[in-house]
Amino acid sequence: MKNIFVLACSILVFASCADKNKETEKVEETTIETPTDSVPKTEADTVSAVDANSQEAVKIDADATAEKKAEAKKTIEVSPAKEVKVEYASFGSKILAEKALSKEQMLAKYKTLKKGDTINVKFKSKIKSVCKKKGCWMKMDLADNSESFVKFKDYGFFVPLNADNSEAIVSGKAFVDEVSVAELQHYAKDGGKSQAEIDKITQPKITYAFQADGVLISK
């Protein structure tokens, strides 16, 4: 009987120790779990901060890009070149400088004419030479080394003897003409050519003629 009692006491003591060991394990488990839970929280905070910084950097880059695009889209204002106004001296009938053909356009007009044809036209070019006696005729430059021989209607007016190389606008009748040898020699003499040059003229010449009723010459 005594032995049974001792055995029962031993069992109770063992059971009590087992319960204490279980409680100790639970406490240890709780103690271990606490730092484990806190680590992910700290990392999450760090990741959030990094994400926030990244987003701020992206926003700054986007703002800078938008600003550059806005700068690129700005229209550059260029002031138009000022038109140089040419002043002209007028001879003969009053004419306007506007809507005059260029020398290239005038040459093209001449090439459509045959002897006997006449057209009313106005063109602008440079004076190549002028009659050095009275200013009763002048030669005006055309394209391709061609020239227009200009005389003035009814000898009603003349142009300055020093008008060579000036810009001029003539208005009147254009036609194709055949100039005789005698006339060519006469014009060469009036133009100040030497006798040797005059003597070389032996053939009549088809010319682009012009009878001007009004002339403008740049001052």
DSSP codes, 134-154? S--EEEEE-STT-EEEEEEGG
- Contact by Cβ (8 Å): 123, 172: no
Q: Which of 44-48, 116-120, 178-182 has the lowest mean pLDDT?
A: 44-48
Backbone angles phi, psi at 122, to 5 degrees: -135, 130
Separation of alpha carbons 124 and 105, rounded Å: 10
Backbone angles phi, psi at 202, to 5 degrees: -130, -5
Amino acid at 188: A
Element (H, E) at 181: helix 181-190
Backbone angles phi, psi at 71, to 5 degrees: -65, -40
Instruction: Kindly report, residue by residue over 150-182, the tens digit of the pLDDT.
Output: 999 999 999 999 999 999 999 999 999 888 999
pLDDT level of residue 68 (50, 70, 90 thresholds): low
- Contact by Cβ (8 Å): 151, 211: yes
Highest mean pLDDT among 35-49, 70-84, 175-189: 175-189
Separation of alpha carbons 119 and 103, rounded Å: 16
At residue 16, does pLDDT exceed 90? Answer: no
pLDDT level of residue 21 (50, 70, 90 thresholds): very low
Mean pLDDT value across residues 14-26:
46
Predicted TM-score (pTM) of the model is 0.56
Separation of alpha carbons 129 and 147, rounded Å: 10
Q: Report which of 219, 215, 181 is spatially closest to residue 200, judged by C-alpha positions.
A: 181
